[in-house]
């Protein structure tokens, strides 16, 4: 009897185990399913990812994202092939390919449905509404890719989503995705198009909702929020069309963007379920009299006096590469000429009346005895930098869409006037004979250009200026820099080097390589907190050798995407640690206030010029590659006292003749980013010219201060310790 009970017990346990195993097999949890034909894994894939030969952006994006998901998890993955190639037996079809399965999978879906299905030997990923193809591809990747070591066709199950809720009137979003496209006419301005992209970015970052943008007009299918100008509208207007579309209209570009801002703040609010539906779909309009003036094109209160420039100036972008096309990070400037300080102050009152609050202010003497006036204003997420130049009677109003406002960008630590600040002219490899980069027939293993400065504060942080050329930033030299930073900061190998800020004077290739390479090689051991520069939109420039270098931004975006950014503007006075950084001029000052167009014709003139005041009162002038073309306007902006500094570098490695500026600076210590010109060869006309102008520069700085001391980066790394209003110099050998 006991034996019978034991046998029955064992049989029951086996039966239960079999049932459990079967259940696990169905759920795909513990018992592995036979993968069947392999999609991805360690072994070769039998599948191809098929996309339409005449693809739309959304189809290519979905197919590419799927490939990236595979490559992140498996060593052997499907290859991407367009549907014009011969049909493969096993395929993953993405979007509306010419395979019959791609259209068959759409049968039975509603207008907002998407599906992942296995049809025969094909895996089909498609959506009825193109905006949801990304959802289908994302579902496939999250559900299957990486879930098993060897992914096969037998792992894939049919999945259909019919988003009924999107069919309701003015249902802007369900969950994280919107059924709408924000659209601008192809004839619309860059300001309108960039504003639409900025709106989309804001919706994503603040509410987690993805909404597509079209800058070529409303899409042929789906619903649209159409942003455009309409000269029959007084002020701005928002109209909810019967077909579900929404028109956002303004009499001009600025007013249309005002309407878009209102739409964002007043209508796009999530309900208890986290969705956005507009229920009060009644047309709304506003005369927007404070923002309206003929020719005023910004979505900011209009400046009522003076003469407006006939166009907006595109100030350029932040950390995104700039190819000149519309982008959410674009900042724009309106110029006004023929105005007064009293009229400017009235404008400040108007900003306050319209709900803008002061973030920062700076009053700086002008060369004519009056005052230049500089202010930062904020309202919600909008940041304006506005300033008045007393010498020329000009006003500039900048809508800055990328910067961390000045009050948030700053930081300080406890210090007194005895706090030491160290500035280093970092020794790099230059061509001793004055050839190399920039000289025909020169030795490309070294160069006669390149600038790299380091400021170390008492809190142990470093402020980096530019970064030299790639032939100078060899792997050995970058390792030498890493060791050097540990030495001067006193950090152990396990402590992160704090880079309080990286400032780039202008976007030329000989001004970024050391820092970019340092970030790429040692990012895990760095804390890059801020980045500062002001580069123009290249399409606004004229002339040659503009040389805007996108690589400056690449490493920062990849490794320090949360670093604060400042598109430094003229007149800002920024407290970083124990030093004050005054922005004396940027490329925005070179824009004609009457035409709204830049007067720059070469890349070095894009230099932003900063003056540093250390804790003990020592002042350092950073000239970058500042050019003669901007010297006169700069000297007119300020009295001589604003230029006086104990320390300065030379402009453009000594190649630019800015004699009047050197006279006003009258520096006691000159830092020269090159090798002494006395030993240079004169093998070419260019080399001969460089030697002549370098001799001239030496004479200029000696005439400005007969007691000047000059230090060359080609010979040493020069350390200048500034403490108790005294400067102590130490020289060390460079690391090549």
The secondary structure of 379-403, three-state, reads ECCEEEEEEEECCCCEEEEEECCCC
- State the pLDDT at residue 547: 64
CB 81 within 8 A of CB 48: yes
Helix (H/G/I), strand (E/B), else coil: 295: coil
Question: What integer is the mean pLDDT of 364-369?
Answer: 98
- State the pLDDT at residue 13: 41
> What are the residues whose beta carbons fall under 8 Å from the beta carbon of 511, sequence distance 6 or more?
450, 451, 466, 467, 468, 469, 504, 505, 549, 624, 625
Max distance between CA atoms of the chain, in angstroms, equals: 117
- State the pLDDT at residue 58: 86
Between 397 and 17, where is the model more confident?
Answer: 397
Q: Is the pLDDT of residue 563 over 90?
A: yes
Question: What integer is the mean pLDDT of 592-612?
Answer: 96
- State the pLDDT at residue 435: 86
- State the pLDDT at residue 11: 39
pLDDT band at 218 (very low <50, low <70, confident <90, very high): confident
Question: What integer is the mean pLDDT of 131-154?
Answer: 93
Between 499 and 542, where is the model more confident?
Answer: 499
Q: Is the pLDDT of residue 14 over 70?
A: no
Q: What mean pLDDT, rounded, does the chain reach?
A: 92
Architecture of domain 307-403: 2-Layer Sandwich (3.30)
Domain 38-162 class, CATH top level: alpha beta
Q: Is the pLDDT of residue 725 over 50?
A: yes
Question: What integer is the mean pLDDT of 331-353?
Answer: 98
Topology (CATH level 3) of domain 407-732: Metallo-beta-lactamase; Chain A (3.60.15)
Q: Is the pLDDT of residue 694 over 60?
A: yes
Question: What integer is the mean pLDDT of 360-387?
Answer: 97
pLDDT band at 544 (very low <50, low <70, confident <90, very high): low
- State the pLDDT at residue 445: 82
Question: What integer is the mean pLDDT of 132-139?
Answer: 91
Give the predicted TM-score (pTM) of the model. Answer: 0.85
pLDDT tens profile 654-667: 999 999 999 999 99
Q: How far is CA 537 from the centre of its chain?
A: 13
pLDDT tens profile 192-203: 999 999 999 999
Question: What integer is the mean pLDDT of 620-646?
Answer: 97
Q: Is the pLDDT of residue 426 over 70?
A: yes
pLDDT band at 599 (very low <50, low <70, confident <90, very high): very high
Lowest mean pLDDT among 16-25, 303-312, 419-428: 16-25
- State the pLDDT at residue 23: 36
- State the pLDDT at residue 6: 38
Residue 435: Cβ-neighbour burial (10 angstroms; 0-12, 13-18, 19+) = buried
- State the pLDDT at residue 475: 95
pLDDT band at 177 (very low <50, low <70, confident <90, very high): confident
- State the pLDDT at residue 8: 38
Question: What integer is the mean pLDDT of 600-620?
Answer: 96
pLDDT tens profile 227-238: 999 999 999 999
- State the pLDDT at residue 30: 54
129: nearest Cα among 104, 108, 106: 106
CB 538 within 8 A of CB 322: yes
Instruction: Report d(CA 520, CA 514) in Å as an integer.
Output: 10
- State the pLDDT at residue 679: 85
Q: Is the pLDDT of residue 594 over 50?
A: yes
Question: What integer is the mean pLDDT of 555-562?
Answer: 96
CA angle (114, 201, 335) in 5-degree steps: 145
Between 438 and 280, where is the model more confident?
Answer: 280
461: nearest Cα among 434, 440, 492, 485: 485
> What are the residues whose beta carbons fall under 8 Å from the beta carbon of 42, sequence distance 6 or more?
74, 75, 76, 149, 150
Question: What integer is the mean pLDDT of 666-680?
Answer: 95
Rg (CA), the chain: 31
CA atoms within 13 A on the CB side of 615: 24
Residues of the chain with CATH 3.30.160: 307-403
> What are the residues whose beta carbons fall under 8 Å from the beta carbon of 636, sequence distance 6 or more?
367, 391, 392
**Ranges 120-134, 165-179, 373-387, most confident:** 373-387
Query: What are the phi and psi torsion angles at 153 (to 5°)?
Result: -65, -30
In percent, the amount of the chain with pLDDT more than 70 equals: 95
Residues of the chain with CATH 3.30.379.10: 38-162, 167-286
- State the pLDDT at residue 551: 82
With respect to CATH, is domain 167-286 assigned 3.40.50.620?
Answer: no
- State the pLDDT at residue 437: 79
- State the pLDDT at residue 440: 74
pLDDT tens profile 17-55: 433 333 344 344 455 689 999 999 999 999 999 999 999
Question: What integer is the mean pLDDT of 562-566?
Answer: 98
Q: Is the pLDDT of residue 648 over 60?
A: yes
641: nearest Cα among 340, 369, 391, 423: 369
pLDDT tens profile 75-108: 999 999 999 999 999 999 999 999 999 999 999 8
State which H helix or E strand residue 631 sits in.
helix 631-637
């Amino acid at each position: 009897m006991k034996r019978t009970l034991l046998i029955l017990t064992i049989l029951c346990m086996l039966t239960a185990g079999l049932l459990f195993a079967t259940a696990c097999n169905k759920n795909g949890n513990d018992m592995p399913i036979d993968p069947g034909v392999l999609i991805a894994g360690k072994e070769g894939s039998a599948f191809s990812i098929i996309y339409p030969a005449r693809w739309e952006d959304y189809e290519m994006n979905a197919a590419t994202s799927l490939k990236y998901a595979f490559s992140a998890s498996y060593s052997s993955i499907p290859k991407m092939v367009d549907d014009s190639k011969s049909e493969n037996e096993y395929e993953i079809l993405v979007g509306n390919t010419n395979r019959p399965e791609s259209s068959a999978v759409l049968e039975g879906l509603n207008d907002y449905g998407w599906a992942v299905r296995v049809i025969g030997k094909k895996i089909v990923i498609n959506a009825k509404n193109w905006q949801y193809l990304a959802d289908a591809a994302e579902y496939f990747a999250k559900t299957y890719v990486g879930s098993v070591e060897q992914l096969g066709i037998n792992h894939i199950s049919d999945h259909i989503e019919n988003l009924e809720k999107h069919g309701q009137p003015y249902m802007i979003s369900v969950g994280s995705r919107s059924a709408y496209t924000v659209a601008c006419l192809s004839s619309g301005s860059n300001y309108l198009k960039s504003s639409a992209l900025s709106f989309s970015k804001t919706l994503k970052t603040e509410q987690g909702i993805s909404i597509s943008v079209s800058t070529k007009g409303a899409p042929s299918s789906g619903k649209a929020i159409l942003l455009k100008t309409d000269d029959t509208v007084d002020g701005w207007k928002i109209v909810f069309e019967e077909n579900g579309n929404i028109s956002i209209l303004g009499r001009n570009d600025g007013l249309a963007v005002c309407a878009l801002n209102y739409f964002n703040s007043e209508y796009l609010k999530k309900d208890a379920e986290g969705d956005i539906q507009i229920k009060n779909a009644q047309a709304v309009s506003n005369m927007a009299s404070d923002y309206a003036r003929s020719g005023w094109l910004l979505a900011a209160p209009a400046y009522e006096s003076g003469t407006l420039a006939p166009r907006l100036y595109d100030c350029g972008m932040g950390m995104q590469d700039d190819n000149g096309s519309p982008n959410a990070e674009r900042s724009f400037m309106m110029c006004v000429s023929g105005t007064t300080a009293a009229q400017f102050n009235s404008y400040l009152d108007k900003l306050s009346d319209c709900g803008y609050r002061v973030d920062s202010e700076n009053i700086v003497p002008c060369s004519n005895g009056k005052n230049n006036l500089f202010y930062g204003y904020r309202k919600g997420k909008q940041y304006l930098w506005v300033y008045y130049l007393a010498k020329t009677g000009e006003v500039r109003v900048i809508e800055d869409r990328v910067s961390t406002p000045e009050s948030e960008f700053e930081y300080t630590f406890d210090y007194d006037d005895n706090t030491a600040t160290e500035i280093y002219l970092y020794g790099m490899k230059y061509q001793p004979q004055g050839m190399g980069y920039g000289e025909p027939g020169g030795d490309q293993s070294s160069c006669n250009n390149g600038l790299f400065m380091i400021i170390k504060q008492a809190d142990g942080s470093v402020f980096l200026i530019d970064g030299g050329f790639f032939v100078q930033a060899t792997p050995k030299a970058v390792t030498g820099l890493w060791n050097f930073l540990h030495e001067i900061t006193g950090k152990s190998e396990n402590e992160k080097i704090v880079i309080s800020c990286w400032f780039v004077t202008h976007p030329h290739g000989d001004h970024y390589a050391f820092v970019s390479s340092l970030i790429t090689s040692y990012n895990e051991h760095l804390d890059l907190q801020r980045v500062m520069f002001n580069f123009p939109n290249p399409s606004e420039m004229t002339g040659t050798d503009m040389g805007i270098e996108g690589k400056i931004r690449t490493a920062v975006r990849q490794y320090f995407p949360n670093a604060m950014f400042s598109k430094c503007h003229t007149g800002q006075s920024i407290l970083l640690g124990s030093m004050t950084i005054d922005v004396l001029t940027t490329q925005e000052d070179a824009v004609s206030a009457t035409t709204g167009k830049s007067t720059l014709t070469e890349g070095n003139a894009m230099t932003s010029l900063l003056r540093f005041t250390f804790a003990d009162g020592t002042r350092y002038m950073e000239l970058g590659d500042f050019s003669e073309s901007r010297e006169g306007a700069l000297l007119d902006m300020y009295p001589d006292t604003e230029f006086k500094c104990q320390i300065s570098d030379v402009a453009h490695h000594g190649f630019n003749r800015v004699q009047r500026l050197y006279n006003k600076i009258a520096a006691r210590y000159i830092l020269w980013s090159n090798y002494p010109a006395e030993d240079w060869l004169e093998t070419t006309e260019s080399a001969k010219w460089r030697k002549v102008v370098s001799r001239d520069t030496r004479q200029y700085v000696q005439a400005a201060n007969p007691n000047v001391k000059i230090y060359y980066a080609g010979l040493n790394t020069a350390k200048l310790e500034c403490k108790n209003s005294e400067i102590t110099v130490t020289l060390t050998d460079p690391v090549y």
